[in-house]
Amino acid sequence: MRVGTERMRRGVACAAVLGAVLTGCSGASGEEPGDGRARASAQAAGDGPEAAKSGGSVGAAGSACELPVTFDIAASWKPKAVDTKPAGGDDELARELADALLHQGPVTAACEIDAKPAGTIGFLRVWTGEPGDADARSVLKEFVAAEESAGKATYRTFEAADGVTGAEVTYQYTSKALEETKEERALAVTTKRGPVVLHLGGLDTEEHRAMLPAYELAKRTLRIG
């Protein structure tokens, strides 16, 4: 996702290599969000009776996405491993666009968890990187810096299950093509197998906030290994 005018190129990539890389590219879809959006908008993210219900977990060996971490996913959300070697043949432009979609800063797309079956439009995406000495906040700052038109970033620390700690950010992304600004957020942890970033986007800020209970569920159940 993330070289030069990344978001503009993503739109081109959707047309050029449709279905070859990250599903839905910007997170848009021709489907209507349905009742799930209204329900989720009224829910409080995090603990409480309105928190997202678990629909299983990902990350462990044999799960839909094998990762350096494990966490619960919200009911009806559908996880799928990202193919990091999409078909591009000898088309140099297609390969370049695919590469731009698959990488952001120090990490590479590994898994996307689709919210559409639950009634909202967007994805919780997981990115992984190579082992190194960078701490979670440094990884997260590189991730955000690689997303052109990202701004107003607010960083903080968080603690999840089993004492796992990491960095989290909320920021604004402005689409030059759509002349629209929306809220996004991400978190990062480091593991012996490399850093992991969880990113929540959404079609717009309303959709993003409607998906927050699922994001909070993933965050508070996050475990290393």
Evaluate whether 111 touches 34 at the Cβ level (below 8 Å). no
Q: Is residue 157 part of a domain?
A: yes
Q: Is residue 128 part of a domain?
A: yes
- Provide the CATH number for the domain around residue 147: 3.40.1000.10
Q: Is residue 17 part of a domain?
A: no
Q: Is residue 19 part of a domain?
A: no
Number of domains in the chain: 1
Q: Is residue 192 part of a domain?
A: yes
Q: Is residue 141 part of a domain?
A: yes
> With a threshold of 0.75, does the pTM exceed it?
yes
What pLDDT, on a 0 to 100 scale, did the predictor assign at position 89? 58
Q: Is residue 4 part of a domain?
A: no
Angle at 167 between CA 78 and CA 5, to 5 degrees: 70
Evaluate whether 224 touches 204 at the Cβ level (below 8 Å). no
Tens of pLDDT along 81-124?
998 775 655 677 777 777 778 999 999 999 999 999 999 999 99
Q: Is residue 110 part of a domain?
A: yes
Evaluate whether 223 touches 164 at the Cβ level (below 8 Å). yes
Which residues face 155 on adjacent strands?
Answer: 169
Residues with Cβ < 8 Å from 15, sequence gap 6 or more?
none
Angle at 72 between CA 71 and CA 74, to 5 degrees: 145
Which residues face 174 on adjacent strands?
Answer: 181
What pLDDT, on a 0 to 100 scale, did the predictor assign at position 105? 94
Tell me which residue has tokens 């297609």. Answer: 94
What pLDDT, on a 0 to 100 scale, did the predictor assign at position 32? 40
Residue stretches of the chain with pLDDT short of 70:
1-50, 86-90
CA distances from 152 to 22, 83, 158 (A): 26, 32, 19
Residues in the chain: 225
Q: Distance between CA 149 and CA 133 in Å, rounded?
A: 27
Domain extent, residue 112, equals 27-82+105-224
